[in-house]
């Protein structure tokens, strides 16, 4: 059977395992070598040049040095590429290293220094683009404005869907059509390859903070980009020069994590649906953000995804004071950044992940983001209920005359 005939669950388990039988092993091997023997000077030099310029190891040559190539990392890349319906994938030491390589490969390396960024985006990406650190100029826009802000020197369009933190859905095919010849990179971290495959909708690249759902256990930091072989060569060249290669142990953990992604995502998504249905009836909540909750009026969820995922955001009716109190009062949820692990997390985007974003584009101060894990949904709901009760008391105290001027954030935030 071909990969096209196999269910995504099966592909996730068996991808990247070619050649294990010939090696006489069943578990994935780990190669921790930093340097590799050279067959001779000429073939060693040819090998170095091939990989330093973004190519693959040459037949009869050498992998030379781990900054250029590692077989354990390559196995994970092959596995991820299969799940993303891509010809290739390139792994990096973090999601931000991956995004940096994507930007450099399509701006500095091409002489096109203008980037179009569709908001909202992950705060780190938004900040990197806005900082000018990579020599880029960025135009931020809404999905409907992409075509109007393109320029002759636009080298890249950046989009995230579902978007961080309020889970807006963006029609990838529409963005690709608006971008024309300009390549589009989609941050696919929230959806994972199990729920969404951006390349199937015309995107040039699907990027993941592999730290999140792909690893799934909060013990590895990594990034990966699924793309064409031509794009992979450009990204590998940046990686070789900048030294952003993923450590082989991290690649092993990610490859192993990929095999359990289907069952983890399925249960986490089911838990999220139950929690969302409870949240929408709570008086402490003004608004719940979750794909499909509004009935999917544009049909993006049905057309583009295989499920809404396991990320939830909520707007507290008590404002920042309530949001702060809830984040500090949970006991099963861990108050921490990141997402996608087996345990549930809660965080305040405006104060943390999106703090570097300009105030006019920062998430509202009354919004909290939840990453739903594998715990029993009823227990998670009970934890939120007791946190809401404590928050109600905190808000009452905050509103008392003697408490005037207390609390709040010490930097500008968007009000509700």
Catalytic residue among 126, 187, 364, 366: 187
Which class for 71: exposed (0-12), middle (13-18), buried (19 or more C-beta within 10 A)? middle
Catalytic residue among 17, 43, 56, 67: 67
| 306 is an active site residue | no
Catalytic residue among 48, 65, 75, 122: 122
3-state secondary structure the chain: CCHHHCCHHHHHHHCCCCCHHHHCCCCCCCCCCCECCCCCHHHHHHHHHHHHCCCCCCCCCCCCECCCCCHHHHHHHHHHHHHCCCCEEEEECCHHHHHHHHHHHHCCCCCCCEEEEECCCCHHHHHHHHHCCCCCEEEEECHHHHHHHCCCCEEEEEEECCCCCCCCCCCHHHHHHHHCCCCEEEECCCCHHHHCCHHHHCCCEEEEECCCCCCCCCCCCCEEEEECHHHHHHHHHHHHHHCCECCHHHHHHHHHHHHHHHHHHHHHHHHHHHHHHHHCCCCCEEEEECCCCCCCCCCHHHHHCCCCCCEEEEEECCHHHHHHHHHHHCCCCEECCCCCCCCCEEECCCCCCCCCCCHHHCCECCEEEEECCCCCHHHHHHHHHHHHHHHHHHHHHHHCHHHCCCCCCCCCCECC
| 187 is an active site residue | yes
| 212 is an active site residue | yes
Catalytic residue among 75, 212, 264, 369: 212
Active site residues: 67, 122, 187, 212
């Amino acid at each position: 059977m071909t990969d096209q005939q196999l269910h995504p669950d099966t592909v996730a388990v068996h991808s990247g395992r070619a050649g294990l039988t010939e090696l006489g092993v069943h578990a994935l091997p780990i190669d921790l070598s930093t340097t590799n023997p050279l067959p001779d000077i000429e073939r060693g030099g040819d090998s170095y040049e091939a990989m330093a310029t973004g190519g693959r190891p040459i037949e009869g040559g050498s992998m030379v040095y781990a900054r250029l190539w590692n077989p354990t990392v390559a196995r994970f890349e092959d596995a991820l590429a299969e799940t993303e319906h891509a010809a290739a994938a390139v792994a990096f030491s973090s999601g931000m290293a991956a995004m940096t390589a994507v930007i450099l490969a399509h701006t500095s390396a091409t002489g096109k220094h203008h980037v179009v960024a569709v908001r909202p985006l992950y705060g780190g990406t938004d900040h990197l683009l806005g900082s000018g650190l990579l020599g880029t100029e960025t135009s931020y826009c809404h999905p409907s404005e992409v075509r109007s802000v393109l320029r002759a020197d636009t080298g890249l369009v950046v989009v995230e869907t579902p978007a961080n933190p309020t889970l807006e859905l963006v029609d990838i095919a529409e963005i690709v059509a608006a971008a024309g010849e300009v390549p589009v990179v989609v941050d696919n971290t929230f959806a994972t390859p199990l729920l969404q495959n951006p390349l199937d909708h015309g995107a040039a690249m699907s990027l993941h903070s592999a730290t999140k759902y792909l690893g799934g256990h909060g013990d590895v930091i990594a990034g990966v980009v699924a793309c064409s072989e031509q794009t992979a060569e450009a990204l590998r060249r940046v990686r070789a020069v900048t030294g952003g290669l993923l450590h082989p142990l991290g690649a092993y953990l990610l490859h192993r994590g990929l095999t359990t992604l289907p069952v983890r995502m399925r249960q986490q998504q089911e838990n999220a649906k139950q929690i969302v249905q409870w949240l929408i009836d709570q008086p402490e909540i003004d608004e719940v953000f979750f794909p499909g909750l509004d009935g999917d009026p544009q049909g993006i969820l049905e057309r583009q995804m295989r499920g809404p995922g396991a990320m939830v955001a909520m707007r507290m009716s008590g404002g920042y004071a309530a949001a702060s109190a809830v984040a500090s009062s949970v006991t099963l949820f861990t108050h921490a950044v990141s997402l996608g692990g087996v345990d549930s997390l809660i965080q305040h985007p405006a104060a943390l992940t999106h703090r570097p974003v300009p105030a006019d584009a920062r998430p509202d101060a009354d919004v909290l983001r939840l990453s739903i894990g594998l715990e029993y949904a009823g227990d998670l709901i009970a934890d939120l209920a007791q946190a809401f009760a404590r928050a109600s008391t905190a808000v009452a105290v905050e509103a008392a005359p003697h408490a005037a001027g207390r609390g709040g954030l010490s930097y500008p935030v968007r009000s509700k």
